[in-house]
Structures are given as structure tokens and as C-alpha cells.
Amino acid sequence: MTLITRFSRLFTADIHAVLDRIEEPDALLKQAVREMDEELSAMHAQTRSMRSELERLNSHDNDIHDRLDDLEEELDACFASGEEVLARSLIKRKLEAVRQRKEIAGQRDLIAKTRADLDAAIVENQHHLAGMVQKLEVLAIETHTAGPVKNATVGDYLIDNDEVEIAFLREKQRRAQP
């Protein structure tokens, strides 16, 4: 069974290679440029999403900070009036708020690191895309200026390079015979 699977994969790979040769290289390059442009757009969207998530986390952290300030004032009032039971409840809420701020700080650090990595990948992909666009422009110029490479035109008749080679060999043989 594995032999059949290997043969099938080999056959499929050969078919793909033939199809790649049939397709024009500029069409493949244009497709690659489109795909890379789509990938860059997705990366930019992901960056915007991370930015909005950071804003949400910062807003939540500011709310918790304000709540901690309020809890400090309430704790001062509880200790001033001798309400230790109420102070314990406020201390529990204060500890929960501090723990939430630590969790938010960890999330912000993770997002910042991920965003820095993503920004570096965006810059690298933009350079790669610029190189591919240059190649595409060069290919378009070469195709436009060179015209059909494999055919030479004489009057209204197209002479194929293979025909030229065959005629050359015949002339060479004819001249070599005494």
C-alpha cells in the first residue's frame, strides 16, 4: 500500500511541475504578489486588533487603579473607626484588584512582545514584497521589449528556432560532403 501511495504522490508532484511550466511565470509572480499583499493586510489587521486590545486593557487597568484609591480611603475610614471586620473585606477586595492588575500587566507584556514580533515580520514581508514587485516589473519590461523569444520573423512567415537548427545542420552536412 505504501508503494501505491508513494507512486501517487510522485505522479501528483509531476503533474504539478508540468502545470507550473505551462503557466506563465509572470502570472505566477503576480499571484504570489497578490497573496503576499493579502497576508500583509491580514498582519496589519492583527496589529490594529492588538492595539485595540491594549487600549481596552489600559482602560481596565485605570479603572482598577481608581478602585484601589477608593479602597485605600475606605480602609483608612474603617481603621479610624475600629471596623476590623469591614476592613478585612476591603483588604480582600484590594488583594483581588492587585492580582487583576498583575494579570493585566502580564497580558500587556505578552501583547507588546507579540506586536513587536509582528511588526518585524511586517517590515521583512514588505521588503520581500518590494523585491517581488521589482521582479515582476523587470519581467514585464523584458516580455514587452523582447517580444516572442522563440520565434524569428521573416516577412509574414514565422520561423521557429527548431527549424533554424535543422536547416543549419543540413547545410553543415551538405558542405561537409565532397
Give the DSSP H or E segment for 46: helix 25-81
**Whether residue 71 is found in the same domain as residue 98:** yes
Residue pLDDT, tens place only, 107-162? 999 999 999 999 999 999 888 888 888 877 777 776 666 554 444 444 445 677 77
Domain count, the chain: 2
Bin 155: left if φ > 0, else alpha if -120 < ψ < 50, else beta: left
Residue with cell 489587521: 45
Q: Which domain holds residue 155?
A: 149-178
User: Residue 116 is part of a domain; what is its CATH number?
Assistant: 1.10.287
DSSP tag of 156:
T
Residue pLDDT, tens place only, 15-72? 666 655 655 666 777 788 888 889 999 999 999 999 999 999 999 999 999 999 999 9
pTM of the model: 0.58
**Cα–Cα distance measured from residue 8 to residue 2, given in angstroms and rounded to the nearest whole number:** 10
**Whether residue 74 is found in the same domain as residue 160:** no
**Whether residue 155 is found in the same domain as residue 132:** no
**Whether residue 110 is found in the same domain as residue 141:** yes
**Mean pLDDT, range 156-170, rounded to an integer:** 74
**Cα–Cα distance measured from residue 35 to residue 22, given in angstroms and rounded to the nearest whole number:** 20
Grid coordinates representing 162 are: 527548431
Residue 49 bridge partners (DSSP): none
**Whether residue 139 is found in the same domain as residue 120:** yes
